Amino acid sequence: MTAVPRIAILTHSTNPRGGVVHALELGDALTRLGLEATVLAPDIDRNGFFRRTLCATSCVPASPAGRDTRAMVETRVADYVRYFEDPDNRRFDIWHAQDGISANALGILKERGFISGFGRTVHHVDAFEDERLIALQRRSIMAADQLFVVSELWRDWLAREFKRDACIVGNGVDRKRFSPQPDDTDAELREELGLRPSETVFLAIGGVEERKNTVRLLRAFLAVRLQIAESRLVIAGGASILDHGAYQAQFVGVLSHAGDTAAAVMRTGPLRQRLMPALYRAASCLVCASMKEGFGLVVLEAMASGVPAVVSGIAPFTEYLGGDDALWCDPSDVSSIAAAMMRSVDRAQRALLFERGMRLAAQHDWISVAKAHVAAYQKLRDKIYA
């Protein structure tokens, strides 16, 4: 084992999802601390990660997989195992999975004696009906030698459901990248999406998913549009390894009955990462009315960009946001979401939220997140190499 540990951080894909963002930011922060970190992910298109990094990255050859969730998960686990069967690809001292797919792969490698142990971050836990997926999810948690979480919500859940302790590491935001200061990408973003300066833009990030509560958000926007005629709902992102087809069909069904208002709803899909800060700045408000989250990283990014946020009045949001830091809503109540969206356009309210949001974003940095990992890495290292 080297004096400076070589850390492998494994994630499920190269797509711009919250857990992947966390993995890359963690890798960069560990590198700034003088550690040797590499972020790895299956990459079927061989295009690499969605942004450049300070840390090393490595793309694992991936096999074709259909939209069936179980087949996809098992294929990606097998891709990882096949890659690490080569000793030249296993030159790491610390192994850290960021999701159930990579944790299952590391669990298999551990069983075969290829690695001595590993850690896993549990960002959130999905609700599966397939018994095989339930079993894989359980193994991904129970096989890990060290668990990390980004919120108290999931630490307590792991203690209750699996009798496992977990280290809270939190999340951060890059305030050099996400800021209220405009640059040349602002005009580019507005032209690309056809956004007018006079429009009130409500922004949601994460695509159309049941966990993101997108159908209720759509219904709330349709109510808001009756009061703010020049308004638009922009739903960005949505690159997911899971199949959300049934829920997306429900969303399309609601939108099909919206008449002319349907034209005010835009699904952008994943955007180029260089345009994401401009996307936040173009928004009047971020709406994160999720039914379940690991942390809600987009809330910090919006606040760092000077944009107020509507958030669900549930954990984990209630862990790191105070009563006056955001506009709260009941995610199960369309009228509550709509009312919070309406409050976001009040000038006095916006000024207060801007000030509090900037202050809160400054309290969450990636170096602190990396330092929280370093102490746990040492314990993991001592345990597996004892």
The pLDDT tens digits of the residues spanning 322-374 come to: 999 999 999 999 999 999 999 999 999 999 999 999 999 999 999 999 999 99
- Which pLDDT belongs to residue 239? 76
Instruction: Please state at what angle helix 297-304 crosses helix 18-32, rounded to 10 degrees.
Output: 70
* Residue, of 259 and 66, whose pLDDT is higher: 259
Q: Are residues 289 and 301 in the same domain?
A: yes
Residue ranges of the alpha helices (H) in the chain? 18-32, 69-84, 100-111, 131-142, 152-162, 184-193, 214-225, 245-256, 276-282, 297-304, 317-320, 334-343, 347-362, 366-384
Q: For residue 373, tell me if it sits in a domain.
A: yes
CATH of the domain at 126: 3.40.50.2000
102-116 average pLDDT score: 97
Q: Are residues 227 and 309 in the same domain?
A: yes
| Percent of the chain with pLDDT strictly greater than 90 | 89
Instruction: Give 120's pLDDT tier (boundaries 50, 70, 90).
Output: very high
Q: Are residues 201 and 344 in the same domain?
A: yes
Q: For residue 331, tell me if it sits in a domain.
A: yes
Q: For residue 177, tell me if it sits in a domain.
A: no
200-228 pLDDT per residue, tens: 999 999 999 999 999 999 999 999 999 99
Give residue for tokens 């590198």: 31
d(CA 136, CA 99): 11
d(CA 48, CA 280): 24
Number of structural domains (the chain) is: 2
Q: For residue 1, tell me if it sits in a domain.
A: no
Q: Are residues 379 and 343 in the same domain?
A: no
Q: Are residues 51 and 141 in the same domain?
A: yes
d(CA 163, CA 156): 9
Contact 253, 301 (CB under 8 A): no
d(CA 256, CA 190): 26
- Which pLDDT belongs to residue 238? 80
Q: Are residues 143 and 292 in the same domain?
A: no
288-303 average pLDDT score: 96
Q: For residue 23, tell me if it sits in a domain.
A: yes
pLDDT at 18 over 80: yes
Q: Are residues 203 and 155 in the same domain?
A: no
The boundaries of the domain holding residue 77 are 6-172+366-384
281-307 average pLDDT score: 97
294-303 average pLDDT score: 96
Q: Are residues 117 and 195 in the same domain?
A: no
Q: Are residues 241 and 309 in the same domain?
A: yes
Q: For residue 179, tell me if it sits in a domain.
A: no
268, 125, 107, 27: CA torsion to nearest 10 = 50
Query: Model-level pTM?
Result: 0.93
Q: Which range, of 178-192, 261-275, 314-328, 370-384, averages the lowest pLDDT? A: 370-384
- Which pLDDT belongs to residue 1? 47
Instruction: Give 244's pLDDT tier (boundaries 50, 70, 90).
Output: confident
Amino acid at 175: R
d(CA 192, CA 170): 34
Q: Are residues 215 and 329 in the same domain?
A: yes
d(CA 176, CA 381): 33
Average pLDDT taken over every residue of the chain: 95
Contact 106, 141 (CB under 8 A): no
Q: Are residues 156 and 217 in the same domain?
A: no
| Residues belonging to the chain | 386
d(CA 386, CA 210): 44
Q: Are residues 164 and 300 in the same domain?
A: no
pLDDT at 4 over 90: no
Give residue for tokens 């400076």: 4
Q: For residue 25, tell me if it sits in a domain.
A: yes
Contact 49, 24 (CB under 8 A): yes
